[in-house]
Amino acid sequence: MTAQLEATDAPAAPTVVRAALTLGRRRRRVALASLAAAAVLVAVLSLTLGTLPVSPMRLPAVLTGHGTPIENLAVLTLRLPRWTTGALVGLALGLAGALFQTTLRNPLASPDILGVSGGASLAAVTAMLVFHAAGAGVPFAALGGGALVAVVIGLLSWRDGFTGQRFVLIGIAVAFLASGGLSYLMTRSDVRAAQQALAWTVGSVNDPSWGETGLLAAALVVLVPLAVWLAVPLRVLALGPDAAHGLGLRPVATTVLAAAVGVALASVATAVAGPVAFVAFVSAPIARRIVGAGGLEPVASALTGIALVTAADFVAARLGGFQAPVGLVTGVVGAPYLLWLLTRKDGGSA
Amino acid sequence: MSRSRTATALVACLVALALLAGLSLALGAQALTPAQLLHAITRPGGGEAQRIVIGLRLPRTVVALVAGAALGLAGAVMQGVTRNPLADPGLLGVNAGASLAVVTAIGVFGVTSAAGYVWFAFGGAAVAAAIVYAVGVLGPGGATPVKLALAGAALTATLTSIVTLVLLAHLDVFQQFRFWQVGSVSGRSLHDVLVVAPFAAAGAVLALVSGRMLDVLALGDDAARGLGLNVPLARALCAVAVVLLAGAATSLAGPIVFVGLVAAHAARTVAAHEHRWLIGLSGLIGAGLLVASDLIGRFIAPPGELEAGVVIALIGAPVMIALVRRRGEVMTA
């Protein structure tokens, strides 16, 4: 605004505006490149370090199928599935959080706080503790629970139209309901079984199966382009429903679609790994601060999610002795980072 | 008109609360008639009825009243100061701080009773809230609503992760902790209430006093400053009130969610624009909610009991959904 006013006043000003725009674009490019570099660095570290170390130089050969049996075991059998699952889960959760927060215009909106993670956890823990399910039953219960809860929240919040505020509040109510149910199940069952269920509710990629990871990847092939495509209409929607309508957008349809894509992303990730804490919640704010922009940043949020989950799992796998689930590390590491960001200079513009 | 409506609501809440408290004393596995109840309370000297009423039901009723009122007051203050309708006392990190302290109490100090947790829970809650508030103040712009909310959620996530780590590694700690964590008002003594009551009372006074300041704060920081309000001081006072109230409630009843949120929303449907009334009403509704939850929990799953923390989630969620659906626009305050 100020820049435009100056532009009419002084002939030299357009150059200044152009310079500022270029600077913004360059910052975005640098930010995305550094995020991608961080993700790649974590990938290399995750695939090479461990009890069976593999030289980073050998990594291309091993990945293309020219490794020794030991290298194949370490990289392809043990580390690659875990890293892949972590990366896909991080991508899905980072995008889901970005979509939720932009659509519902509330920085607290994320599948952790809305009922989606809670519904998935309750369904999975019920399957484990009440029906003694194991193996594939648990993720499918989680997927069903998360999706069912999201649909119920959506239906309940539909009344003469759809508002993000109502969706968030009803989501919180359902989340509380789920946490009450979880506490109940935990106190009424054998303490060992309850501890296992507790471990699931933290979120872990310790023991991935290619089948589940493949399903997650298949879902992402559909959902990720949809989320990236939604970025433009959502940016228009941020101008307000009236302005968006004037620009030929259907605000309600866009909001519902974006929320649905967010729910789907969060549900598939939760089904595979459990509700990995905090990734969906912090990825978008961190990405926004790194890029230095205000709106939805789908690519940066997804990259942040990938870097966050894989880095956390890298740490979790090497804590020694105790195989910590990745969700614990994302909570312990991700949250203080957000706290630190909040105390910094541009911290007020959350 | 709205003032008289508020007064009516206040009286209705008081009557309902008295009725609920009476029922809570009279009903349970062994139901008492009003005459038996009166006899048990007024005539000391033993007897089965008196043992049940004075020894068991009176403490849990008082705990539910105090904890519920504290949570209701804290919820209303919290939503006012953060200007966020999603704000719940738990959001300042209070529940998570108390949880970590209780886990430490069980794991390191070998504390085994609800009475022993009280000081730990209170300390943990206060420290967590102080950290959240300090982070909010440290950054530029002071403790803005969004920063407080984000900092609270972030600290909650960190502390919860640490708690879970301990619980996954130590089965014996988990065995005890899960029964505290579910949130219950039974098994506490009147002595526990007396220990915590001064803090709750101080918090309640502070909360009611802060009502006027919250009215001004609701106009926005700039307008509030223009009207001569010391914005940082007002926020700090509110935060102290929330810490005292939520810390007291959590140390008595465990990390009970939902009461603060639902009570404040219910109060807002009656008294939306005057925080003093809103806060007072929210406290009464909170107390009623928790007493009712405890009462329902005694009958819902015979032969056992359901903890108040579980019941409040079961009945609170539909109530809140109904409130949200009925009055969508109220929530933007």
Residue B66 sits in a domain of what CATH number? 1.10.3470.10
Does position B39 have pLDDT exceeding 60, yes or no?
A: yes
Answer for the pair B263, B278: CB distance below 8 angstroms, yes or no: no
- Site from B170, B221, B324 to mutate, A interface, most A CB atoms within 10 angstroms: B324
Among B302, B320, B233, B310, CA closest to B27: B302
**Is there a domain that residue B228 lies in?**
yes
Collect all residues of chain B within an 8 Å Cβ-Cβ radius of residue A350.
146-147, 150
A323 in reach of chain B (CB within 8 A):
no
Yes or no, beta carbons of A277 and B161 under 8 Å apart? yes
Does position B284 have pLDDT exceeding 90, yes or no?
A: yes
Helix (H, G, I), strand (E, B) or coil at A15: helix
- Which two structure tokens, joined as six digits, stand for B281? 């009403």
Tell me how far apart the alpha carbons of residues A289 and A298 are, in angstroms, rounded to a whole number.
13
At A12, give phi and psi (nearest 5°): -80, -15
**Is there a domain that residue B115 lies in?**
yes
Burial status of residue B102 (CB atoms within 10 A of its CB: 0-12, 13-18, 19 or more): buried
Answer for the pair B137, B235: CB distance below 8 angstroms, yes or no: no
For the stretch B73-129, pLDDT in tens is: 998 998 888 776 667 776 678 888 988 998 888 888 887 776 677 788 888 988 888
Fold of the domain spanning A85-348: ABC transporter involved in vitamin B12 uptake, BtuC (1.10.3470)
Yes or no, beta carbons of B182 and A184 under 8 Å apart? yes
Rounded to 5 degrees, what angle do the CA atoms B68, B72, B76 make?
170
| Secondary structure letter of residue B34 according to DSSP | H
**Is there a domain that residue B5 lies in?**
no
Answer for the pair A82, A45: CB distance below 8 angstroms, yes or no: no
Among the partner residues A173, A194, A331, nearest to B160 by beta-carbon distance: A331
Tell me how far apart the alpha carbons of residues B210 and B241 are, in angstroms, rounded to a whole number.
9
Boundaries of domain holding B259: 57-332
Tell me how far apart the alpha carbons of residues B220 and A272 are, in angstroms, rounded to a whole number.
44
Query: For residue A87, which amino acid is it?
Result: A
Instruction: Indicate the domain borders of chain A.
Output: 85-348
Of the ranges A242-246, A286-290, B100-104, B295-299, which one carries the lowest mean pLDDT score? A242-246
Yes or no, beta carbons of A194 and B306 under 8 Å apart? no
- Site from A106, A158, A169, A344 to mutate, B interface, most B CB atoms within 10 angstroms: A169
Yes or no, beta carbons of B84 and A108 under 8 Å apart? yes
**Is there a domain that residue B17 lies in?**
no
Q: How many CB pairs under 8 A join A and B?
A: 175
**Is there a domain that residue B69 lies in?**
yes
Highest mean pLDDT, choosing among A9-23, A217-231, A324-338:
A217-231
Helix (H, G, I), strand (E, B) or coil at A276: coil
Average pLDDT for A35-46: 90
Yes or no, beta carbons of B135 and A343 under 8 Å apart? yes
Collect all residues of chain A within an 8 Å Cβ-Cβ radius of residue B303.
none
Does position A76 have pLDDT exceeding 80, yes or no?
A: yes
For the stretch A225-257, pLDDT in tens is: 998 888 888 877 777 777 777 777 777 788 888
Answer for the pair A280, A266: CB distance below 8 angstroms, yes or no: yes
If one counts the domains in chain B, the total is 1
At B30, give phi and psi (nearest 5°): -120, 110
- Which two structure tokens, joined as six digits, stand for A281? 């919640």
- Which two structure tokens, joined as six digits, stand for B62? 């008082």
Collect all residues of chain A within an 8 Å Cβ-Cβ radius of residue B321.
156, 170, 173-174
Helix (H, G, I), strand (E, B) or coil at A315: helix
